[in-house]
Amino acid sequence: GNSVTQTEGPVTLSEEAFLTINCTYTATGYPSLFWYVQYPGEGLQLLLKATKADDKGSNKGFEATYRKETTSFHLEKGSVQVSDSAVYFCALSDQAGGYNKLIFGAGTRLAVHP
Amino acid sequence: DGGITQSPKYLFRKEGQNVTLSCEQNLNHDAMYWYRQDPGQGLRLIYYSQIVNDFQKGDIAEGYSVSREKKESFPLTVTSAQKNPTAFYLCASSMTVLAKNIQYFGAGTRLSVL
C-alpha cells in the first residue's frame, strides 16, 4: 500500500542553520503531497503542498519540490528560527478508496536553539 | 473567523465509560474526518464523512462511533470497547473528499484514562 517515510527525529539545529527534512513516498498513481506543521499542544497546520510532478510548494521560507523520479518531497529552509521548533509531517493524498485519505509519515521533531 | 473547533481540550475517561468529543466547523465543508495521534507516530484515520447522514470507517474504527446529523458537526464517541483510548484526537474537514482538497485541522482533544 501507499506509505510515507521521513527523517527520524529529533533534528536539532542552531538558529540560522540550513534545514532539510527528507520525505520519500510509495504510491500508485499521482498523489498530491503535503507538509503539515504541529506546534506544541496544537493541531496540524498546512505548511505547503504540491499537486503534480516538478511543482514547488513554498511558504514562510520553507520549500519542497515534488520529485516523481525519486519519489521524494524534501522540506528545506535556508535559515531556521527558534519559532520554527515544531513537529513536521509529510503526507500524501490517496484517492484509491474513493475518498481523500491522507497518509502521514511518523513526523520529525525540530528543535532550534538560539 | 472560519475554522474548526474541538472541545474539550482535555478529557478524562473512567473505566467502562463512553465519552464524546465535539467537532464543529464553520467552513461550509462537506467532508469531515477524525484522526488519532499516538506519541511519535503519524495520524491514523478513524472515521470520515463525505456528506450529512453518511460516514465510513477508516483504518482504526473499532471501539469508536460517529454521527453526522448536521453539516457543521461531526462528534466522535470513544466507547468502552476501545481498550487503549489514551491519545490525541484531531478532527479535520475539507471542501469535498477529492484528493486535491486540503484538509484543515482543529486544535485537538487529549484523552486520558483515569
Taking only the tens place, the pLDDT of each residue in A34-54 is 999 999 888 899 999 999 999
* A4 bridge partner residues: A25
The pLDDT of residue A92:
92
Q: How far is B20 from chain A (nearest CA, A)?
A: 18
Q: CB contact, 8 Å: B104 with chain A?
A: yes
Judge residue A114's burial from the number of C-beta atoms within 10 Å of its C-beta, 0-12 exposed, 13-18 middle, 19 or more buried. exposed
Q: What are the pLDDT digits (tens) for A15-28?
A: 999 999 999 999 98
Contact state of A95 with B106 under an 8 Å Cβ cutoff:
no
- For chain B, which ranges sit under pLDDT 50? none
Q: Phi, psi (5° rounding) for residue A84? A: -80, -5
Q: CB contact, 8 Å: B39 with chain A?
A: no
Q: CB contact, 8 Å: B43 with chain A?
A: yes
Give the count of beta carbons closer than 10 Å to the beta carbon of residue A14.
10
The pLDDT of residue A80:
97
CA distance A65 to A45: 19
- Best mutation target among A28, A30, A59, A102 (most B Cβ atoms within 10 Å) is A102
Tell me the average pLDDT of chain A: 92
Rounded to an integer, the average pLDDT of A62-89 is 97
Which residues 6+ apart lie within 8 Å of B40 measured at CB?
A106, A107
DSSP string, B80-112: TT-S---EEEEEEEESSS-TTSPPEE---EEEE
CA dist list (Å): B5 to A35, A108, B21, B93, B97 = 22, 26, 11, 11, 20
Closest residue in B to A94 (Cα) is B99
Contact state of A89 with B43 under an 8 Å Cβ cutoff:
yes
Strands A62-65 and A75-77: antiparallel
A53 contacts A67 by C-beta, under 8 angstroms? yes
Of A31, A49, A106, Cβ closest to residue B41: A106
Contact state of A100 with B103 under an 8 Å Cβ cutoff:
yes
The pLDDT of residue A91:
94
Q: What are the pLDDT digits (tens) for B36-64?
A: 999 878 899 999 999 999 999 999 999 99
Residue A69 has pLDDT above 90, yes or no: yes
The pLDDT of residue A112:
97
Q: Which has more confidence, A66 or B98? A: A66
Q: CB contact, 8 Å: B45 with chain A?
A: yes
